[in-house]
Amino acid sequence: MKSIFIDCSLGISGDMLASAFFNLGVPHSIFLDNLVSLNIDKNYKLKFNEGDSEGIKGIVCTKSEIQFKELSRNLNEIKNLLLDSSLNDYVKKKSIKVFEILAEAEAVVHGHQISDVHFHELGSMDSILDIVNVCSAIDFLKPYKIYFSNPPSGKGIVSTSHGPLPVPVPTVLEIARQNKIPLMVLDDKYFGEITTPTGIALIATFIDKFGQPGNINIQNIGIGLGSKNISRPNFLRILLIDENDENIENNKPSYETIISQEAWIDDSTPEDVAVLIDRLRSAGAIDVICYSVDMKKNRKGICIQAIVYPKHKNLLREVWFNYSTTIGIRENKISRWILPRRTVSHKTKFGTVNVKQVMRPNGQNSIKIEHKDLTRITLNTGIPIEEIRQKLIIELSEFYEIDDLSF
């Protein structure tokens, strides 16, 4: 199975990660589409250029603004900006999660409520774009696991909007504390910030495990260069790896606890309910269902139920109260057993399709082609959807052996 190892032992930032993903093979169009999705394609130019750092070749990301006025944004403003964009749900959820981690740390550092936290440098469109680019790249690659090396702490003093601060800056330290991220002391002559708040928040969002896995086959390497010249190599590298079977978790079902949130509503239009369901999904809901219920005074209403991972429950509460007429929600912990599954992109004669693979306890696996891809193909070709499904299953069976647990 394909995983990635992010070696950030010399430092990590959002733009270094984006550059390394581009160098790894994530298409330029993925990043350019983000400009359109955020509606800043006329105000921002994004380029990935070849460069070197003390003799190490790699890619450096440059962003140029064109008549763009930067704003100081709070967490809700950034959430709304992302939710109102045309980014896909995965990128929205992960990007919001990064900013929630940043806001939680900033709130502790400055003694504010999370709702009162204002991002200055971190709330700029430059930082938002870095975060969205990284989330989009990971969504494109869909790695089985993401490994990180321990990020370096750095040393010295840096200038910020709050004045001079020691390195690591308080926000970086707080994110490390809250998320149990071990910082590495680097024997370095450079005095300055080498692990940024954005960089460590991205680690907290995506980390599966620290340390490089053993028994791996390296498929590709991406090098992302830092923008600073610091008299020593300044880069981050990402290894696309194929893990051997002994590194892959077995195919047993896993047990987890999730959250159920629901509300009964009898005073909203169907159009408003549709908007609420869309917002809940974009904010991190695993799934949302609704059905008719009989309420007091013999009124017909709708029960809307969302299931969500515990880490997203607070965000969903805000959606309920901001985008529906309900004045209360029911919330319960529920348990579920799930089979290992993953989704990968695959090139076929009909174009690229997303395929979900599920591992069964008996060692076999099943595949399912995403319905939206089947719909797109049938609209483009005029071929009935069931015929397309059968043709693709036959074509894909050449790649997915029934007892093969790797791709």
With helix as H, strand as E and coil as C, how does 183-218 read? Answer: CECCCCCCCECCECHHHHHHHHHHCCEECCCCCEEE
Q: How far apart are CA 235 and CA 60, in angstroms?
A: 9
Written as one string, the DSSP assignment of 298-350 is G-EEEEEEEEE-GGGHHHHHHHHHHHSS-S--EEEEEEEEE--EEEEEEEETT
Q: Determine how β-strand 209-210 pairs with β-strand 146-148.
A: parallel
Contacts of 176 (CB under 8 A, 6+ apart): 168, 182, 183, 200
- The predicted structure's pLDDT at residue 237: 96
CATH of domain 254-338: 3.30.70.1380
- The predicted structure's pLDDT at residue 138: 96
Report the predicted TM-score, pTM, of the whole model to 2 decimal places: 0.63
Read off the tokens for 213. 């896995």
- The predicted structure's pLDDT at residue 101: 93
- The predicted structure's pLDDT at residue 248: 43
Q: How far apart are CA 197 and CA 345, in angstroms?
A: 31
Contact between 16 and 226 (Cβ < 8 Å): yes
Average pLDDT, 10 consecutive residues per value, the chain (407 residues): 91 95 94 91 86 92 67 84 92 93 90 80 77 96 91 84 83 92 83 90 92 83 90 92 58 84 94 93 92 90 94 90 94 90 80 84 80 92 92 74 41
Contact between 313 and 331 (Cβ < 8 Å): yes
| Residue range(s) occupied by CATH 3.30.70.1380 in the chain | 254-338
Q: Each residue of 211-234: b (16+ CB within 10 Å) or e?
A: eebeebeeeebbbbbbeeebeebb
Contacts of 155 (CB under 8 A, 6+ apart): 167, 188, 191
- The predicted structure's pLDDT at residue 294: 92
